Structure 1
Amino acid sequence: MPRQIILSGHEETLKPAITELIALYQLLEDKDIGTVYSYPPENVTTNRRHEKPKVILFFKSPKPIKKENTRTDRRYEAYVSFRLMNETSETITKTEVETIAQRIKSVFATPPLSWNRGKLFCTYSDWSKGYQFQLIVSSKEEAKKLIKALLKIQGHTPNWAFMNSIENEEAEESFDETPGKKNILGQAVNNPVKRRKIRTLFAYALMYLPPKVDPVVLISIDGRHQNPVVKV
């Protein structure tokens, strides 16, 4: 069965990507090109990103928000993650885990750091240091504030050459806060709100140490998790 590649997005954005994919396929079809790495092959065994400890910071809206087509009011939740590229699940120590937790407490929890979600899409990619952020924010300044705070956890300084942004020319129209309804089987169903403008606050942070399934609770200020590494 042939493999499928599914692309999503605006037509004008997808057209050049589709053209490049077709050209690449025609160029490489039926050719044995071996294995392609994005780094020197001698480093393959040491650059397995998925095996590196993963830190995830979670943020929540201050108040519950009604979810479309349900009777449930829930606090909106967002998260940002990064990898500890200089460690593995076997080499990281309890002391180093506590250090990460203390830094998160200092930067994000006392007081709780807030950031505004919006309609601007920003990325920050520094693969060698474990950063591959994709942020939906209200402005570039808001993205930079969050990126600076995240990098501070490991004592890194941002290189703004690694940051990019994509801004829709008609953002308020493309990501309407009141997108209307559709009639489905005689019932009015609300269209989902995309890129909702909302303020979020830091809530808790976890660390995953693969292949261990259960995460380490680094810090929790919303009462959701028990026995964190550090308390507020």
Structure 2
Amino acid sequence: MKNFEHLQSIFCLIHNQLVNEFFRNVEVPEIIEYIRNIPSKASLKKACLIRDNDTASVMDMRVQLFTIIKGERGLLMPNYDKITRKRRHKPQITLYFSEKIEDVEEGYEPVTGEISFRIMDAGSDDDISESQALTFGRRIKTIFGGGQGLLWRKGKDLLSYCDWDRGYQLQILCRSKEEGKRIVEKVLEIQNHTPDWQNANYKANEAPSTRYPTIPPTKTIFGKTKRMPRERPIADVYFRYAAILIRGMMQPVVVYEQGREVEEDLTAS
């Protein structure tokens, strides 16, 4: 029993930190659309947090619920299977962005960004061919790869776009609604999709400079003063490369990278 209590305490600490961070920074209106009897984001968070008196089975349910809300994999329960079964193993493309080195403020790491979506019209084996992957790479090159790479003006506001049937659960940090919508349009253009803006939600904090300070506070750790990580920094990030992950692969494979041919990488994979 002592072994379980020790495991539970460590697991609870780590899991609850992730839950608190996720619900602090992410909007999840799309999941509420499926779970009609849950009235709010706060209620979802409460259901995900592990408590000291939880049994192992209750802990497992909370972890699975949190997983489904994040949209990473399906929850193996009939009531939730309809939410994720269509997209659980579909190929996923991720677009990677980063700040220019010369723009990085002294004392900070470069700001980065990632945007992922799933390819819902993959075959019955949730697979796509090498030629299809290369076609996606060429489309991404055309839309995102010109000049220095597509510019994404990241900021403190959040535009979310959810269209499960088409494979989208986008969370775009931006400085304005227009900028968020521009990035969504570019992502959907890869698959020749047109946004349906009833699937979008925009949220701007009432006190962004306080909630997400430009200069984060410091904390004393082991007697030394450390600067805390920045939350939602304002920065210009540029497209760098795109990678695809297909069920059965150990690692994603690059389908396009600024200034480099990647056909050999796909062949070798």
State whether TM-score is above 0.5: yes
One-letter identity of the residue aligned with 2:119: L
Q: List runs of 5+ in structure 1 lacking aligned partners.
A: 23-28
Closer/same/farther in 2, CA of residues 222 and 74 from structure 1, 3 Å limit: farther
After TM superposition, the structure 1 stretch with the greater mean CA deviation from structure 2, 119-128 or 1-10, is 1-10
- Conservation of the 8 A alpha-carbon contact between 1:182 and 1:189: yes
| Secondary structure class of the residue paired with 2:242 | strand
Q: TM-score, normalised by structure 2?
A: 0.66
Alignment partner of 2:215: what SS? coil
Question: Are 1:216 and 2:253 an aligned pair?
Answer: yes
**Partner amino acid for 2:78?**
T
**Post-superposition offset of 1:184:** 3.2
Structure 2 CA distance for partners of 1:200 and 1:211, relative to 1, 3 Å: same
Structure with the larger RCO, 1 or 2 (CA within 8 Å, 6+ apart): 1
**One-letter identity of the residue aligned with 2:99:** S
Question: Deviation at 1:113?
Answer: 0.8
**Residues 80-127 of structure 1: CA deviation (Å, up to 9, x unaligned):** 000001104664223322221111011000232101111002210000
Is the partner of 1:39 in helix, strand or coil? helix
The residue aligned with 2:36 is none
Query: Does the residue aligned with 2:185 lie in a helix, a strand or coil?
Result: helix
Give matches, 1:104-183, under 5 Å: 104-111=140-147, 112-183=149-220
Aligned mate of 2:115, from 80, 83, 99: 80
Contact persistence 1:107–1:153 (CA under 8 A): yes
Q: Does the residue aligned with 2:101 lie in a helix, a strand or coil? A: strand
Paired residues, number: 208
1:1-232 correspondence to structure 2 within 5 Å: 6=16, 7-8=19-20, 9=23, 16-17=42-43, 21=47, 35-37=78-80, 39=82, 47-63=85-101, 65=104, 74-88=109-123, 91-111=127-147, 112-221=149-258, 227=264
C-alpha distance in structure 2 between counterparts of 1:58 and 1:212, whole Å:
19
Q: Cα gap change, 1:19/1:137 in structure 2, threshold over 3 Å: closer, same or farther?
A: closer
CA contact (8 A) 1:57 1:205 kept: yes
TM-score (norm 1): 0.76
Distance 1:78 1:222, change over 3 A: farther
Amino acid of the residue matched to residue 198 of structure 1?
A: A
Task: Give CA deviations for 1:184-203 in whole Å, capped at 9, x if unaligned.
Answer: 34322112221110000110
Matched-pair contact (CA < 8 Å) for 1:219–1:228: no
Identity score, percent: 26
The answer (yes or no) to whether the contact 2:127–2:247 under 8 Å persists in 1 is: no
Shift of 1:76: 2.6
CA RMSD of aligned residues (A): 3.3
Higher helix share: 2
Rounded to whole Å, the distance in 2 between the matches of 1:56 and 1:150 is 10
Unmatched segments (≥5 aa) in structure 2: 28-39, 49-57, 59-76
3-state secondary structure, aligned to 1:200: strand
Question: Aligned partners of 2:261 and 2:219: how far apart in 1?
Answer: 36
Looking at structure 1, the residues matched to 200 and 219 of structure 2 have their Cα atoms a distance apart, in angstroms, of 38
